[in-house]
Structure formats: C-alpha cells, structure tokens
Chain A
Amino acid sequence: MNQREQALARQRLIGRMLSPVCIPLATLLMRFLFRWRLRDTSEHRALYRRLLSEDSRPLLIAANHLTMADSALIAWGLGGTIDHMVRYHGLPWNVPEQARVESSRLWRVLAYLMKCVPVPRGGDRKVVADVLKGLRHLMEEGEVVLMFPEGGRSRSGRVDTESVAYGVGRLIKELGDCRVLCVYVRGDQQKSWSNMPTSGDTFSFTTRVIEPQTNLRGMRGSREVASQVLAQLVEMEEAHLARQEA
C-alpha cells in the first residue's frame, strides 16, 4: 500500500468512526436548517442498495452539477442516515476543488470527515493523475466515488456538453468493468447554477445505470467514455424538464 492509499485508508477509518455524528448532523442540517425536501427517493434508494449488494464491480456515480450542495443531496437521495452508517462504503467519495476546501479550516475538516479527496482544478496533471489513482484504488476496494462529468457547476443551468471532464472517462476506462450510476438532481426552484439551493426547495431525482464502453485508446478513449456519460445526463435532463412541463 503506497502513501496515498494509506492516507485514504486512514481518512476512511476516521470518517467511519465519526460517522454516527457527522452523517445525522449533515442530514439534520439539510432537513431542518435548509428545509430541503426530496421527492420520491424510495425507488432510487432501492436501486442504489441493489447496486451496492448485487456484485463487486466498481461503481461510480456521475451527476449533473448546479450547486455546491449537490454531492450532499445525492448522498442523501441515495441513502438515508441509517443506510450510510450501516453501509459506509455506500457513502460516496467526492472530488471537490482543492482551493474551495482549503479556503477555511472548517471546510478542510468537513471535507476530510465526509470522504472528500480535493483536486486542484487546472492543476499539475501529475497531481490530478495521482488523485485519479487514489480514486481508482478506493473503487477497487469497494468504495463508491461521485464525480461531476461537467467538471464544475454548469453556468448555463443545463448539462454542459462543451465542458467534458476527461478524468471521469479515464477512471471508468481504466477500471474496465465499471458500472456508472447516472444521477440527475434538480430543485424545483433551481433555475440556473448557484452556490447553494434555495432554502425550502424540493428536489427531484432521476437515476439510470450504464456501462460505457469504447474501443478507442488513450485520451481519445477517455473522452469518448466521458461523453457517453454526459450524453446520458443530457437525456435525463430532457426527460426531467419534459415531466416538469407536463
């Protein structure tokens, strides 16, 4: 086990030990401080439980990205407090922007305890590659990773196909037999991107499982895989918006 893998194992252990405090606290904050509500999560939680238990192939969650609370909302939408405490490997690892995490001590502590691996956006490719290696190791160990294929919050408020984060594709391609749980989440009042969703907003979820494949090699293959994931999110967004209009 190399140094990074040891650090991730230590982070997981500490996070798990404090999860009886952190997970209920996060849920309470979302539920009572921000008064967010989730619509019809039972189907998505059942699907997620099945994905976690049906086989041991790696599982990546790929979602659209509109607010800084998306990863917390997705974790909540896919599992309740008890679910994540019992099946701690199902609480997904996140890849927040390093500058954001390092902006305050509180952020740093929260990120550490809530399974975050900060990544420098636009940073040294070797550092980014090292983060991807760590994520790959976690997934091979049965952990779930959540990534946003758009790379950042969509400035248009719609899934941004111009902004493909190739790292998502690289991770999926390198794992070979990776399952991808695509998640589209949006609050009723979420018209565009923002830091936080509106207080009192209600969120709808759409989930779909895909297994992207490519015959292309190298970066071309990674981009092709990331594009397949993004195309799926576009379809899910169109279906969501059509349902909203109906």
Chain B
Amino acid sequence: MSEQEVMEKVVEILKPYAKNAAALASVSLETNILSDLKVNSARLVDVVLAFEDSFGIEVEDEDADGVQTVGDAVRLIQSKLA
C-alpha cells in the first residue's frame, strides 16, 4: 500500500475524532493529531484501534507512544504492513 493510500485512509479514520475541521482540510504529514486536529487525547486510543481494524495490524503501547503527527501514524502503519 502506497504512502498516499495509507494517508488517505488515516485521514478518513481521523475525521470523526478531529474537532478542527479546517486543519483536517489542509492536513499534511506534519499535522499534529492532538494539537492541530484537536483530537481528544482519550479518544486517541479509539483512533489507534481503528487503525488496527482498518489495516489489519497490531499496535503495541510503545509503538503508539511515538505517534504525534499524521506522518508518524502513516509511517507506523507502513512499517507494520511491510
């Protein structure tokens, strides 16, 4: 799966959780999930679980600790898919 395809799917998953629609509209790999998209930190678990379900991967707690930006999420998913 290409980076672009993973990115599109990640953004789709983030949509219901992102409170900042404007930031979501101009999302990039550098967009911070918590501070830019205003995803509630408690909901970040749901986001990661949605990644697991959607991509058929398993994310360990330590892996998730490193996810701050959309790019981090994309890279993590790609590494799990590889």
List of B residues within 8 angstroms of A123 by Cβ? 41
Q: Chain A: which residue is nearest B46 at the CB level?
A: A223
The reply to whether B40 and A166 form a contact with Cβ atoms under 8 Å apart is no
A223 and B47 CA atoms in complex are apart in Å by 13
Q: What per-residue 1/0 map shows which CB atoms of B56-74 lie under 8 Å from chain A? A: 0011111111111000000
A151 and B59 CA atoms in complex are apart in Å by 22
A42 within 8 A of B: no
Of the candidate stretches A10-18, A47-55, A104-112, A213-221, the one touching chain B is A213-221
A163 within 8 A of B: yes
A121 and B49 CA atoms in complex are apart in Å by 20
Scoring B59, B61, B64 by chain A CB atoms within 10 A of each residue's CB, the highest score goes to: B61
User: What is the minimal beta-carbon distance from A220 to any residue of chain B, in angstroms?
Assistant: 6
The reply to whether B62 and A129 form a contact with Cβ atoms under 8 Å apart is yes
Q: How large is the interface on B (under 10, 10 to 19, 20 to 34, 35 or more residues)?
A: 20 to 34
Scoring A121, A122, A174 by chain B CB atoms within 10 A of each residue's CB, the highest score goes to: A122
A222 and B49 CA atoms in complex are apart in Å by 11
List of B residues within 8 angstroms of A122 by Cβ? 34, 40-41
Q: Chain A: which residue is nearest B35 at the CB level?
A: A122
User: What is the minimal beta-carbon distance from A227 to any residue of chain B, in angstroms?
Assistant: 11
The reply to whether B42 and A165 form a contact with Cβ atoms under 8 Å apart is yes
List of B residues within 8 angstroms of A170 by Cβ? 61
List of B residues within 8 angstroms of A222 by Cβ? 45, 61
B3 within 8 A of A: no
A122 and B44 CA atoms in complex are apart in Å by 10
Which of the residues A121, A125, A128 comes within 8 Å of B67, measured between beta carbons? A125
A170 and B61 CA atoms in complex are apart in Å by 8
User: What is the minimal beta-carbon distance from A224 to any residue of chain B, in angstroms?
Assistant: 11
For the complex of A and B, the 7 pairs showing the least CB-CB separation, nearest first, are: A122-B41, A129-B65, A166-B45, A125-B65, A218-B60, A219-B48, A126-B65
